[in-house]
């Protein structure tokens, strides 16, 4: 599968490193609205660059576009890729809202192309070990979960922190996809949500040397506490925050009738995975799979390429990303309206196993 990358910012580095090494993916060109950024990545990774994203979209040498632009541009770039006849894999979120998300799914279907989206961490060594344990009944029947992503936000180090405090980002849209995709992949679809939200700082202060001291307006809630009811009847909670300095709370725990599974940070590919069942005095450290335990971003692109080749269902697929988008939108709506919100879409649990 010949890949063209659109968007050569911070996250492109790890994608370019990994996509050059996965079997079955060939990097053919990189591009960016800012040609200088594309040229820099081209020099760094030895991949040709083209002057504009349009040149990448029109190239006959590209089969699949990897969309690593900012959230506001995701749907425009993904739709342009599909209308140019290319499969597309986008960074998260799939789009800014479900209206745009539906357009992407509909166009992919019309054109007979794949549209998928990050995150792909749920395919990594740590979270796939959790999937294996849950499916094997290690904690009995799952009854609940607690997800907590508490941080002070990325403005101290990120060169473009403004995007994180606008629509389409914030703690829920920026980091929620890792937690929600993991919950959906491990436990199933979400049917209903409720939430309370707050914004504890009117502006944030940039720390990166190029923009140090600049004020960043905050347009979205930065502390979001949600309750989720899954289709199976299981209920759980998810808190995402850019307002918390320190925490000792685990990132994700899944509770079952026979024990508790302590999952790794859903924004990572590795461990630790810890299990404690009723009758045991201590937590057990569970060995994880040996492959894809380090930062393997792009695994979802490789899985998409492989799935197209073999006629399989892509795991980081558009329907799953759309479901996660609808859950996030529902959580913010529930916070605003103080009403529970019903989630209409569903996602199939993706097939299990670490890619080989």
Which residues are at the interface with ligand NAD (CB under 6 A)?
6-11, 32-34, 37, 53, 68-71, 73, 77, 91-92, 160, 174
What element of type H or E holds 271?
Answer: none
Contact 126, 261 (CB under 8 A): no
Shortest distance, position 319 Cβ to ligand NAD, whole Å: 19
Rounded least distance, CB 174 to ligand NAD, Å: 6
Q: How far is the CB of 310 from ligand NAD (least distance, A)?
A: 27
Tokens of 211: 């923009």
Minimum CB distance to ligand NAD, residue 9 (Å): 2
Q: Which residue of the chain is nearest ligand NAD when measured via CB? A: 9
- The label of the residue with tokens 């890949």 reads 3
CA–CA gap between residue 313 and residue 181 (Å, rounded):
16
* Cis peptide leading into residue 73 (ω within 30°): no
Q: Which is nearer to ligand NAD, 34 or 280 (CB)?
A: 34
Strand ranges for the chain from DSSP E = 2-6, 26-31, 64-67, 87-90, 115-117, 142-150, 190-198, 203-205, 215-217, 223-230, 235-241, 252-256, 259-263, 273-277, 284-286, 341-342
Q: How big is the chain, counted in residues?
A: 356
Cα–Cα distance for residue pair 221/170, rounded to 1 Å: 7
Cβ nearer to ligand NAD, comparing 234 with 324? 324
Which one, 68 or 139, has the nearer CB to ligand NAD? Answer: 68
182 three-class SS:
helix
- Alpha-carbon distance 109 to 78, whole Å? 13
Nearest distance in Å: CB 68, ligand NAD: 5
Helix (H) or strand (E) holding 147: strand 142-150
Minimum distance of ligand NAD from residue 33's CB (angstroms): 4
Plot region of 157 (φ>0 → left; ψ -120 to 50 → alpha; else → beta): alpha
Nearer to ligand NAD by C-beta: 41 or 223? 41
Closer by beta carbon to ligand NAD, 122 or else 256: 122
Nearer to ligand NAD, 117 or 133 (CB): 117
- Kindly state the DSSP code that residue 123 receives in the 8-state scheme: G
CA distance 199 to 201: 6
Q: Which two tokens stand for residue 115?
A: 């549209």
Q: Which is nearer to ligand NAD, 33 or 107 (CB)?
A: 33
Q: Which is nearer to ligand NAD, 118 or 185 (CB)?
A: 118
CB of 297 to ligand NAD, least distance (A): 7
Residue 354 and residue 356: Cα distance in Å, rounded?
6
* In the complex, minimum distance from the CB of residue 296 to ligand NAD, in angstroms, rounded to a whole number: 12
């Amino acid at each position: 599968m010949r890949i063209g990358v659109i968007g050569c910012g911070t996250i492109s580095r790890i994608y370019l490193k990994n996509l050059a090494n996965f079997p079955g993916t060939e990097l053919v060109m990189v591009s960016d609205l800012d040609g200088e950024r594309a040229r820099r990545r081209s020099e760094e990774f030895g991949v040709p660059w083209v002057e504009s994203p349009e040149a990448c979209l029109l190239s006959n040498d590209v089969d699949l576009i990897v969309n690593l632009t900012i959230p506001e541009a995701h749907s425009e770039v993904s739709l342009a890729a599909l209308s140019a006849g290319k499969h597309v894999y986008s960074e998260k979120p799939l789009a800014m809202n479900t209206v745009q998300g539906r357009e992407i799914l509909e166009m992919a279907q019309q054109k007979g192309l794949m549209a998928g989206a990050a995150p792909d961490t749920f395919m990594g060594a740590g979270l796939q070990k959790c999937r294996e344990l849950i499916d094997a009944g290690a904690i009995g029947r799952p009854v609940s979960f607690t997800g907590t992503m508490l941080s002070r936000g990325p403005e101290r180090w990120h060169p473009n922190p403004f995007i994180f405090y606008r629509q389409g980002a914030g703690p829920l849209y920026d980091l929620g996809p890792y937690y929600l995709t993991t919950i959906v992949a491990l436990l199933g679809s979400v049917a209903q949500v409720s939430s309370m939200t707050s914004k504890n700082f009117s502006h944030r202060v940039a720390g990166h040397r190029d923009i140090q001291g600049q004020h960043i307006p905050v347009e979205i809630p930065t502390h979001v506490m949600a309750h989720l009811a899954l289709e199976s009847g299981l209920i759980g909670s998810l808190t995402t925050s850019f307002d918390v300095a320190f925490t000792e709370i685990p990132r994700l725990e899944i509770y079952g009738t026979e024990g508790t599974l302590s999952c790794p940070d859903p924004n990572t590919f590795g461990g630790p995975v810890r299990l404690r069942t009723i009758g045991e005095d201590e937590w057990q450290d569970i060995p994880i799979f040996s492959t894809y335990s380090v930062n393997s971003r792009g695994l979802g692109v490789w899985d998409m390429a492989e799935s197209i080749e073999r006629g399989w269902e892509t795991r980081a697929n558009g329907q799953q990303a759309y479901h996660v988008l609808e859950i996030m939108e529902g959580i913010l709506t529930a916070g605003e309206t103080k009403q529970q919100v019903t989630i209409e879409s569903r996602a199939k649990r993706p097939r299990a196993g670490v890619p080989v």
